Amino acid sequence: MDTVWMKEEEIYKAAELLIRGEVVSFPTETVYGLGADATNDAAVKKIYAAKGRPSDNPLIIHIANLAQVSEYAQDISEKARIVMEKFWPGPCTIVLRKKGPLAETVTAGLDTVGIRMPDHPIALKLIEISGIPLAAPSANSSGRPSPTSAEHVYHDLNGKIAGIIDGGETGIGLESTVLDLSDSSKPVILRPGGISKEELEAVIGPVMFKPELSNQTDVPMAPGMKYTHYSPSEPVVIVAENGIGWEKAIRYYENKGEVIGLLASEEIIKEFKPAHNCSFSLGKKRDTASASKRLFKGLRYFEETKATVILAESYSRIGIGEAYMNRLEKAAGNKVI
């Protein structure tokens, strides 16, 4: 099956496909999503099949207005309402107790569901026109870097999904923050993202941080907690600020006969890029927002080069830097030099 490539004005065509139980990729402010009717079990299963996604990895549902929250969630606390009012539409997913006609496969059998309202005109219009909540993980093959352009989606999923809406490059470049408010007395960040811990604590008080499972046999409450994620074809090694340093790291891998790809700030590339190696700029050295926006595009870039290993720069964990480092560490399998 060929995948239909649609322009942003063809939202009605995409909505028709979704209503018929097909899977369509669409842009959000974070990354491209892979949407299906969250109330249609057969449609949701097509998401898992297209991505090669494990069936115990739950999906986030996307809505277009606040009234839809009470259709699919219950026990909505004051803290949850504050977060919705402050950060929706936007890159924040809230985990609540589920209710209503959601497909069982959306929540992987859990009694909770992640809900968010994306801050992108195409995504909101698509949900509104189709009249259904959209289960929508990132539109990539499972384990690959998330897509920040329609071209990335096409590369991974052409022939596996019904259509792709091309809305240009995404703005934030990393997936949403997932905040568990199913127990409002214990707000927990399950996945860092576009809204930082500091921003959340400013409006609802103390927030815990738990981006990993304590037991890998458990079903994760949010994407990104259990399985290998964000990995390109080449191995990734993080060059830490307090590690051996760029000069020694480059010399070490050159002596091993590797072709090095530098995924780093402009300053590092200017100082250390060897003539025969390739590089991808993450922006200025202290600009974590730029690094976050460009990370996944950079990881994919080296697949089109001769690089055999990617040396990637670590950034401060302040603000969105926490999400950047979370994704980079997963891409590198926590390998730091």
Question: pLDDT tens-digit profile of 183-219?
Answer: 988 999 999 999 999 999 999 999 999 876 444 445 5
- Alpha-carbon distance of 134 to 87, in angstroms, equals 19
Q: Is 138 annotated as a binding residue?
A: yes
Q: Is 176 annotated as a binding residue?
A: yes
Claim: this prediction has a pTM higher than 0.85 = yes
Q: Is 170 annotated as a binding residue?
A: no
Q: Is 308 annotated as a binding residue?
A: no
Q: Is 40 annotated as a binding residue?
A: no
On the question of a cis peptide bond just before residue 89, with omega within 30 degrees of 0, the verdict is yes
Q: Which fold has domain 236-331?
A: Rossmann fold (3.40.50)
Q: Where are the domains of the chain?
A: 4-209, 236-331
Q: Do domains 4-209 and 236-331 have the same CATH topology?
A: no
pLDDT number for residue 228? 61
Regions of the chain where pLDDT drops below 50 = 213-217
Residue 93 in contact with residue 43, Cβ under 8 Å?
A: no
End-to-end C-alpha distance for the chain, whole angstroms = 44
Q: Is 146 annotated as a binding residue?
A: yes
Q: Which fold has domain 4-209?
A: DHBP synthase (3.90.870)
Q: Is 152 annotated as a binding residue?
A: no
Residue 36 in contact with residue 106, Cβ under 8 Å?
A: no
Q: Is 300 annotated as a binding residue?
A: no
Q: Classify strands 177-180 and 188-191 as parallel, antiparallel or unpaired.
A: antiparallel
Q: Is 116 annotated as a binding residue?
A: yes
* 8-state DSSP, 98: E
Q: Is 53 annotated as a binding residue?
A: yes
Q: Is 253 annotated as a binding residue?
A: no
Q: Is 148 annotated as a binding residue?
A: no
pLDDT number for residue 216? 46
Question: pLDDT tens-digit profile of 92-150?
Answer: 999 999 999 999 999 999 999 999 999 999 999 999 999 999 999 999 999 999 999 99
pLDDT number for residue 144? 94
User: Cα dist. 14→48, 250, 328 in Å?
Assistant: 19, 47, 33
Other beta carbons within 10 angstroms of residue 93's beta carbon come to: 29
Nearest C-alpha neighbor of 39 from the set 55, 63, 56: 63
